[in-house]
C-alpha cells in the first residue's frame, strides 16, 4: 500500500529522459541535454521543466508542437545543432512564457515568420547560413532579437551578389527592402501572365476572323461557279 501511495503522490511528467540530466535551479527544474548526440527532441521531457538545454547535438528539425506540453518553459537553448527546418507551429504552446530562445550556430537558411513572430522571447539567430529575404527581414523588424547577436545575422545567400557576406542589418540600413523586391517580382509575374492571356485572345480572334473570311470566300467562289438563271434562260430560248 505504501508503494502504491508513493506512485500516486509522484507528480506526473516529473521523470527525466535517460539521455538528459534533471536538476533544480533556484527552485525551478532544469533539464540538461547538452552534447548527448541527440538527433531529435526527446519526447519525455518533464512537463514542469523551466530551463531546457538541447545545445551541441545533431538535431536537424523542430517539428510542430515539439514543446507544446512544456507550459512552464522559460529558457530554451537549441544552439550548435544541425537544424535546417523549423515548422510553423514549432513553438506552439510555449509562446507566452518563453523568455529566451537560442537558435544560433545551426544550418537555418530560412524560417517561417509565423514560428517566431508569436514569441515574446529574446531570440538569438546568429551564425546561420541565412538566405536574406522578406520573411527574415520581417523577423528582424518585429521580433525581439538579442542586441548582442544582431550583427552576426549575415546574408549567406541573397537576391543580389553584393549583399552576400554582409550583416543583414547593414544591408537594411543601406535602404534595401527585400519585401518590396518580392512585391515587384510578383507584379511582374502577374503582368506577364495577363499579357500572355491577352495575346492568346488576340491570336484567337485573328484566327477566327481569317477562318470566317476564308469560308466566305469559298462560298462566294462556289456561288460564282454555279450556272446563273439568266444563262439558263438564254440556253433554253436558243434551243426553242
Q: Residue 206: its pLDDT value, please? A: 76
Q: Residue 163: its pLDDT value, please? A: 96
What tens digit of pLDDT does each residue of 203-240 get?
677 777 777 776 667 666 666 666 655 555 555 555 55
Q: Which residue has the cell 532544469?
A: 30
Q: Measured between alpha carbons, how far is 158 from 223 in angstroms, rounded to an integer? A: 70
> What is the DSSP annotation of 35-83?
TS--SS--S---TTEEEEE--SS---EE-TTTTTT-TT--EEE--SS--
What tens digit of pLDDT does each residue of 139-196 get?
888 899 999 999 999 999 999 999 999 999 999 999 999 998 544 444 444 545 665 6
Cell numbers placing 65: 508542437
CB atoms within 10 A of CB 167: 17
Reported pTM: 0.71
Give the E-state strand segments of the chain in sequence order: 21-25, 28-32, 49-53, 61-62, 75-77, 85-86, 100-102, 122-124, 130-131, 155-157
- The mean pLDDT of 20-40, rounded to a whole number, is 95
What tens digit of pLDDT does each residue of 61-116 get?
999 999 999 999 999 999 999 999 999 999 999 988 999 999 999 999 999 989 98
Residue 44 and residue 17 in contact, taking contact as beta carbons nearer than 8 Å: yes
Q: Measured between alpha carbons, how far is 5 from 232 in angstroms, rounded to an integer? A: 122
Q: Measured between alpha carbons, how far is 76 from 121 in angstroms, rounded to an integer? A: 10
- Among 143, 130, 142, residue whose Cα is nearest residue 171: 130
In CATH, 21-176 is 2.60.120.650: no
Q: Is the pLDDT of residue 10 over 70?
A: no
**CA dist list (Å): 173 to 87, 151, 168, 209:** 29, 12, 9, 57
Q: How confident is the model at residue 7 (pLDDT cuts 50, 70, 90)?
A: very low
* Tally of helices (H runs) and strands (E runs) in the chain: 6, 10
Amino acid at each position: 500500500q505504501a508503494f502504491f501511495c508513493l506512485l500516486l503522490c509522484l507528480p506526473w511528467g516529473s521523470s527525466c529522459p535517460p539521455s538528459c540530466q534533471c536538476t533544480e535551479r533556484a527552485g525551478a527544474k532544469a533539464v540538461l541535454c547538452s552534447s548527448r548526440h541527440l538527433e531529435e527532441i526527446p519526447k519525455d521531457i518533464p512537463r514542469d521543466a523551466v530551463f531546457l538545454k538541447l545545445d551541441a547535438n545533431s538535431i536537424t528539425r523542430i517539428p510542430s508542437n515539439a514543446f507544446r506540453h512544456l507550459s512552464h518553459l522559460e529558457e530554451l537553448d537549441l544552439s550548435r545543432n544541425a537544424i535546417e527546418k523549423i515548422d510553423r507551429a514549432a513553438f506552439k504552446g510555449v509562446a507566452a512564457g518563453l523568455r529566451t530562445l537560442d537558435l544560433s550556430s545551426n544550418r537555418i537558411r530560412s524560417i517561417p515568420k509565423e514560428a517566431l513572430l508569436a514569441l515574446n522571447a529574446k531570440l538569438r539567430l546568429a551564425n546561420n547560413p541565412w538566405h536574406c529575404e522578406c520573411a527574415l527581414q520581417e523577423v528582424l523588424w518585429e521580433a525581439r532579437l538579442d542586441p548582442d547577436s544582431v550583427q552576426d545575422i549575415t546574408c549567406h545567400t541573397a537576391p543580389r551578389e553584393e549583399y552576400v557576406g554582409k550583416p543583414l542589418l547593414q544591408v537594411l540600413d543601406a535602404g534595401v527592402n527585400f519585401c518590396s523586391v518580392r512585391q515587384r517580382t510578383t507584379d511582374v509575374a502577374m503582368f506577364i501572365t495577363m499579357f500572355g492571356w491577352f495575346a492568346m485572345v488576340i491570336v484567337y480572334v485573328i484566327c477566327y476572323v481569317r477562318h470566317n473570311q476564308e469560308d466566305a470566300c469559298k462560298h462566294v467562289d462556289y456561288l460564282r461557279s454555279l450556272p446563273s438563271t439568266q444563262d439558263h434562260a438564254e440556253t433554253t430560248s436558243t434551243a426553242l
